[in-house]
Amino acid sequence: MSKIFAIVTPTSLALREAVVRTAADRAARYRRVFEAPNDLEHRRVLADWLIEQGDPHGEFIAVQFEHSRKARLRAGKLLHRHRAHFLGPLSAWVEPRDDERWEHGFLTHGALRWSATLAHEPALATLRSVRLVATDLSAVESRWLHDVVVTPTARASFHT
């Protein structure tokens, strides 16, 4: 029976601590956006930090603050390449649709397949309008949802 030992050096320990610290910073910065979704300054701060980290979501947020044609084209390219990354925890439930809207780097209008696990998801906070495309909406309840449209294929009783 062979045993594998990991050699822990001060460098590897410092690297691991830096990774943990970066993940905690990322979570805290996103949390600020979700706790105050109408405060655009939190999004600008997040964008700057993400750009420093080399994360394309930072550039996407930043170009969505611009109003030039060039910025709109760049935002479209970034969204095409990194949509799932930008959706983060919502990526498994958001349906791709032509009427989807993004503002200042976050989805504001879109279609969701509802799941009970979404009920307490802070990332819902940036959504202003949601089109639910699930078939069983009896469990739809979330403090984050404000404007819900039920598609013809999703008829059921629900409460928000």
Higher pLDDT, 133 or 148: 133
- Measured between alpha carbons, how far is 43 from 29 in angstroms, rounded to an integer? 9
Does residue 158 lie within any of the structural domains? no
Q: What pTM, to 2 d.p., does this model score?
A: 0.76
Closest CA to 125 of 62, 26, 32, 24: 32
Does residue 3 lie within any of the structural domains? no
Q: Express each pLDDT in 24-34 by its tens digit.
A: 999 999 999 99
Does residue 2 lie within any of the structural domains? no
Per the structure, how many domains does the chain have? Answer: 1
Range of the domain at 62: 10-150
Does residue 45 lie within any of the structural domains? yes
In contact, 33 and 12? CB cutoff 8 Å: no
- Tell how strand 101-103 and strand 106-112 pair up: antiparallel
157: how many CB neighbours lie within 10 A of its CB?
A: 8
- Measured between alpha carbons, how far is 117 from 112 in angstroms, rounded to an integer? 12
Higher pLDDT, 133 or 144: 133
Does residue 104 lie within any of the structural domains? yes
Q: Express each pLDDT in 70-99 by its tens digit.
A: 999 999 999 999 999 999 999 999 988 888
In contact, 145 and 126? CB cutoff 8 Å: no
